[in-house]
């Protein structure tokens, strides 16, 4: 081969390689230009995320795998792209944190060969992407792939489960990413902790007719996506609470329309712990409201009879599942202005929700509640509801029931996700609110159906009757993890308070870990539009001062201010409803002194009523002091919290 021939040969080879490996690159910035992604469309779809030009994380091999062999995202070619700026104000139907939410981002849309595409959005406080498909026929999805590459020293907070049959009620774990064993299941939200204090919380939104997203460890600095597969057969045994969990699965995760959008994959960004508490991306990226008339949706406080009916005293009747006990609860709610009374598990046979206990006259109780201005709710096992949904809900409506608590789903496969929406829709038709227990994390349903007021998906107060996991350290994890995704039914404000050393595990008579001031502060720190009270009316009647104080606390808010925040250590918030502010602070098992700067107030005088740890709260957790004075925005309040302690104050205009 001559010299010229060799040069021509190598030139041809170079051109072929270059043309064959041509990658398309896009850069998308946040409105403030601090966050950005560098997106590459090549053999795989991937992007790197940066804050102020420093790498936060990398994603690789973003793809949808179809059963027919197509892989949407492999060797993808862009047909066209568009950029838009989104800048709007959202006024949420239920004001969980604030009355106004800013939705401001830059969005990139890519239409790719193969009748699919992706949306990418970059906000000042996060990054999100989602697939969409434009295929005529239905599609079967085998896998949605995402590889998340973290830095070597990144740590991760997460909940794990052995299987996808999960109640989502395991303790949070913290590990270096590379120490999470290969195959270990981590449900969402998952929080990446960078050494410089920056945080990335992984979540999802607009979870519709699709399984929930989980992440798996690899034993390296990489996490990979996984989803529960579609159920094939079910567990049908004598354990009625675990009835109809998944026994075997198909080989796919979703059978769905070929023309649709898929859930948003969210990477909420915070420069510090405090910024996590005000992040609204799960709500912003949720589907818009599907209910037209909403005047009937009423947030409120709930008294319920699970432990309560077992711990009534000072009455002339035998407490239990009966009409007399129900009326006692209703009188309590009426006295303190608590909106709901909930019949919990036991009011009917577990899988027969059409026939109340023989000692309970639902018609008589309903008439009494209406007379007293109290609304009734019923607990139901999910499968009992699924078998007879329309019949049961029609009967509940006839009884005057205003809401249901649905329990023990313990799954988030496509079939179960569809069940959640069916419950929300059918309850909305009958003007009923919903509380999901045994539930996966919030993923957008509550915006589409604002009658879904709260859900579980956490270790909450009931665990005090089983183990030590619901402690003040856990209370200082929840605001930075589970609560970022949406309201949670923690069940705060117990009157049975215990220090670390004297807490005892008593199943039917649980006591809370932490001081009285801590327990009351949780009402504000862990606020939910539907807030359930754990104790019996007898306990609250015996503690009238504390009960009076919590009876005035709202469950919806116009504004939130984060005053102090360190995950697992301490938290202090201010929440405003109208002209009144509530300030609350909690610590873990360490004593904590804290300064509360009141500069967020208006320029006027305020009456401050507050509950603080008493001088002996470190020995007797019920010890507290209720005090009052006048303050202005120029002042700073010095608080001193005992081990497991707290502080809560109400600030109302004094002029």
Model pLDDT, residue 239: 80
Mean pLDDT across 415-426: 98
Instruction: For the chain, give the percent of residues with pLDDT over 90.
Output: 94
Output Rg (C-alpha) for the chain, integer angstroms.
26
The per-residue pLDDT of the chain, averaged, comes to 96
Model pLDDT, residue 553: 98
- Pairing state of beta strands 452-455 and 433-436? parallel
Model pLDDT, residue 1: 53
**Residue 549 CA, distance from chain mean position:** 26
Residue 259 has pLDDT above 60, yes or no: yes
For the record, the structure tokens of 345 come out as 């598990």
Residue 21 has pLDDT above 90, yes or no: no
Model pLDDT, residue 242: 85
CATH for 461-528+550-655 (3.90.1150.10, 2.60.40.10, 3.40.1030.10, 3.20.20.70)? 3.20.20.70
Residue 404: HSE in the Cβ half-sphere, 13 Å Cα cutoff: 26
Ranges for all domains in the chain classified under CATH 2.70.98.10: 18-284
Catalytic residues: 407, 462
Residue 240 has pLDDT above 80, yes or no: no
Ranges for all domains in the chain classified under CATH 3.20.20.70: 296-457, 461-528+550-655
Distance CA 466, CA 337 (A): 31
Model pLDDT, residue 17: 44
Mean pLDDT across 269-285: 98
Model pLDDT, residue 350: 85
Residue 13 has pLDDT above 80, yes or no: no
Distance CA 372, CA 375 (A): 9
CATH architecture of the domain covering 296-457: Alpha-Beta Barrel (3.20)
Instruction: For the chain, give the percent of residues with pLDDT over 70.
Output: 97
Q: Which residues, listed in sequence order, are joined to residue 561 by a DSSP beta bridge?
A: 574
Distance CA 632, CA 103 (A): 33
Report the CATH fold assignment for 18-284: Beta-galactosidase; Chain A, domain 5 (2.70.98)
Give pTM, 2 decimals: 0.95
Model pLDDT, residue 14: 45
In 3D space, the residue among 388, 380, 442, 447 whose CA is nearest the CA of residue 409 turns out to be 380
Residue 241 has pLDDT above 90, yes or no: no
| Count of other CB atoms within 10 angstroms of residue 134 | 12
pLDDT in tens, 64-93: 999 999 999 999 999 999 999 999 999 999
Residue 267 has pLDDT above 70, yes or no: yes
CA distances 143 to 67, 153, 365, Å, are 9, 29, 50
Q: Which residues, listed in sequence order, are joined to residue 170 by a DSSP beta bridge?
A: none
pLDDT in tens, 582-612: 999 999 999 999 999 999 999 999 999 999 9
| Cα dihedral value 387, 391, 397, 400, nearest 10 | -80
Residue 9 has pLDDT above 90, yes or no: no
pLDDT in tens, 331-347: 999 999 999 999 999 99
Q: Which long-range contacts (CB under 8 A, 24 or more apart) does 383-386 make?
A: 383/243, 383/244, 383/351, 383/408, 384/350, 384/351, 384/352, 384/353, 385/353, 385/423, 386/419
Model pLDDT, residue 113: 97
The answer to whether residues 56 and 194 touch, using CB atoms and an 8 Å cutoff, is yes
Model pLDDT, residue 16: 43
């Amino acid at each position: 081969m001559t010299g010229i021939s060799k040069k021509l040969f190598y030139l041809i080879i170079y051109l072929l390689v270059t043309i064959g490996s041509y990658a398309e690159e896009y850069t998308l910035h946040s409105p403030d230009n601090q966050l950005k992604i560098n997106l590459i469309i090549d053999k795989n779809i991937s992007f790197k995320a940066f804050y102020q030009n420093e790498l936060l994380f990398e994603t690789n091999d973003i793809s949808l795998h179809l059963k027919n062999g197509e892989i949407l995202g492999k060797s993808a070619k862009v047909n066209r792209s568009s950029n838009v700026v989104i800048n709007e104000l959202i006024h949420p139907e239920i004001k969980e944190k604030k009355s106004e939410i800013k939705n401001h981002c830059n969005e990139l849309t890519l239409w790719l060969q193969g009748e699919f595409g992706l949306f990418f959005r970059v906000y000042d406080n996060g990054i999100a992407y989602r697939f969409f498909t434009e295929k005529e026929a239905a599609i079967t999805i085998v896998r949605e792939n995402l590889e998340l590459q973290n830095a070597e020293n990144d740590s991760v907070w997460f909940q794990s489960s052995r299987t996808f049959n999960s109640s989502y009620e395991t303790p949070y774990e913290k590990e270096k990413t590379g120490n999470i064993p290969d195959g270990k299941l981590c449900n969402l939200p998952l929080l990446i902790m960078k050494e410089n204090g920056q945080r990335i919380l992984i979540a999802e939104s607009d979870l519709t007719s699709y399984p929930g997203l989980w992440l798996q460890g690899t034993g390296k600095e990489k996490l990979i996506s996984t989803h529960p597969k579609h159920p094939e057969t079910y567990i049908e045994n004598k354990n009625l609470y675990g009835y109809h969990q998944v026994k075997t699965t198909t080989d796919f995760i979703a059978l769905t329309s070929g023309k649709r959008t898929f859930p948003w994959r969210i990477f909420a960004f915070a420069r510090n712990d405090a910024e996590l508490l005000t992040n609204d991306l799960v709500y912003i990226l949720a589907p818009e409201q599907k209910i037209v008339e909403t005047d009937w949706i009423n947030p409120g406080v709930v008294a319920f009879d699970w432990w309560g009916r077992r711990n009534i005293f000072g009455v002339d009747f035998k407490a239990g599942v009966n009409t007399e006990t129900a009326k006692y609860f209703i009188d309590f709610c009426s006295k303190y202005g608590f909106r709901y009374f909930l019949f919990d598990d036991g009011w009917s046979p577990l899988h027969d929700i059409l026939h109340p206990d023989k000692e309970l006259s639902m018609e008589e109780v309903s008439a009494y509640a209406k007379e007293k201005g109290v609304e009734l709710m019923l607990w139901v096992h999910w499968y009992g509801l699924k078998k007879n949904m329309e019949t049961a809900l029609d009967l509940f409506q006839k009884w005057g029931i205003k809401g249901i608590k649905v329990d023990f789903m313990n799954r988030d496969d496509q079939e179960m996700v569809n069940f959640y929406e069916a419950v929300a829709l059918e309850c909305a038709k009958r003007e009923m609110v919903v509380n999901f227990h045994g539930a996966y994390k919030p993923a957008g349903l509550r915006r589409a159906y604002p009658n879904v007021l709260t859900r579980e998906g956490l270790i909450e107060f009931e665990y005090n009757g089983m183990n030590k996991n619901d402690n003040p350290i856990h209370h200082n994890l929840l605001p930075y993890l589970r609560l970022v995704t949406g309201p949670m039914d923690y069940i705060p404000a117990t009157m049975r308070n215990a220090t670390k050393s004297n807490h005892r595990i008593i199943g039917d008579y649980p006591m809370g870990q932490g001081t009285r001031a801590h327990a009351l502060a949780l009402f504000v720190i862990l606020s939910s539009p539907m807030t359930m009270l754990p104790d019996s009316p007898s306990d609250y009647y015996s503690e009238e001062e504390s009960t009076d104080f919590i009876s005035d606390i709202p469950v919806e808010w116009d504004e939130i201010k984060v005053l102090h925040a360190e995950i697992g250590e301490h938290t202090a918030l201010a929440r405003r409803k109208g002209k009144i502010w509530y300030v609350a602070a909690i610590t873990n098992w360490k004593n904590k002194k804290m300064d509360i700067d009141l500069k967020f107030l208006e320029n006027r005088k305020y009456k401050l009523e507050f509950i603080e740890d008493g001088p002996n709260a470190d020995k007797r957790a019920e010890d507290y002091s209720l005090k009052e004075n006048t303050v202005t925005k120029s002042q700073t309040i010095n608080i001193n919290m005992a081990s497991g302690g707290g502080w809560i104050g109400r600030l109302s205009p004094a002029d």
